[in-house]
Chains A and B, each alone.
Chain A
Amino acid sequence: DAGVTQSPTHLIKTRGQQVTLRCSPISGHKSVSWYQQVLGQGPQFIFQYYEKEERGRGNFPDRFSARQFPNYSSELNVNALLLGDSALYLCASSLVGTGAYNEQFFGPGTRLTVL
């Protein structure tokens, strides 16, 4: 079985641009979470989706948005990119429900660099 996949692997953008990151969960998993990890820091929670509905949101500005599709894949969109958005963006999927009581399986991440 394939693990969580994310695309693209690396991305370089300039300030002000918009970016879309994609995530495919493990087959059968209905929940997807997004995290931002700045170099040297722990992952910061951005969103969690379950059954195509937003179930949790971190302290990120409205420039960050996400959605989950009927096949449970997900996209994270970031508008008006800032230099500080440069980070590793991690997607994690879990089997059911929300909350930390479900083991989350993480993808390899998308490395975003904003110049």
Chain B
Amino acid sequence: LAKTTQPISMDSYEGQEVNITCSHNNIATNDYITWYQQFPSQGPRFIIQGYKTKVTNEVASLFIPADRKSSTLSLPRVSLSDTAVYYCLVGDMADSSYKLIFGSGTRLLVRP
């Protein structure tokens, strides 16, 4: 079964770049890697998704090495409103049964 590992928490200051890494062994061959942001009492919100190399959108970048056993979410110039929990999500095909595996989440605190 795919296991994802993320740092439990990270601290940053406004305006800094934050990089959060997720390790995911045994990811399903054809599956993408997706990152979500979650605020208290809300459902997760999509940030970015990628399969290989680098993907960039208006809010983040995602770096995925060739072996796809990890991924790094990069948040440029964070603000106080980026304080949230960040999750990686991967698919797993162990036991011939498809499963979606969320990481344990990284709690990001952005300070003024």
A residues within 8 Å of B by Cβ?
A: 4, 33, 35, 41-45, 48, 55-59, 90, 92, 98-101, 103-109
Give the one of B33, B34, B103 with max A CB within 10 A: B34
- Contact present for B87 and A56 (CB under 8 Å): no
Q: Which residues of B contact A101 (CB under 8 A)?
A: 30-32, 49, 51
Distance in Å: Cβ of B31 to nearest Cβ of chain A: 5
- Contact present for B43 and A33 (CB under 8 Å): no
Docked Cα-Cα span, A42 to B106, in Å, equals: 10
- Contact present for A105 and B46 (CB under 8 Å): yes
Q: Which residues of A contact B32 (CB under 8 A)?
A: 99-101
**Cβ contacts A to B, 16 pairs, < 8 Å:** A35-B102, A42-B102, A44-B102, A45-B102, A48-B98, A56-B98, A56-B99, A59-B99, A92-B44, A99-B32, A99-B100, A100-B49, A104-B46, A105-B46, A108-B42, A109-B43
Q: Which residues of B contact A56 (CB under 8 A)?
A: 97-100
Band of interface residues on B: 20 to 34
- Contact present for B30 and A106 (CB under 8 Å): no
Q: Which residues of A contact B77 (CB under 8 A)?
A: none
Closest 6 CB pairs of A and B: A106-B43, A56-B98, A101-B32, A42-B102, A45-B100, A100-B91
- Chain B's closest residue to A42 (CB) is B102
- Contact present for B98 and A55 (CB under 8 Å): yes
A42-B104, A45-B102 given; 20 more Cβ-contact pairs under 8 Å: A41-B105, A42-B87, A45-B101, A55-B98, A56-B98, A56-B99, A58-B99, A90-B43, A98-B98, A99-B91, A100-B31, A100-B49, A100-B90, A101-B30, A101-B51, A104-B34, A104-B89, A105-B46, A106-B36, A106-B44
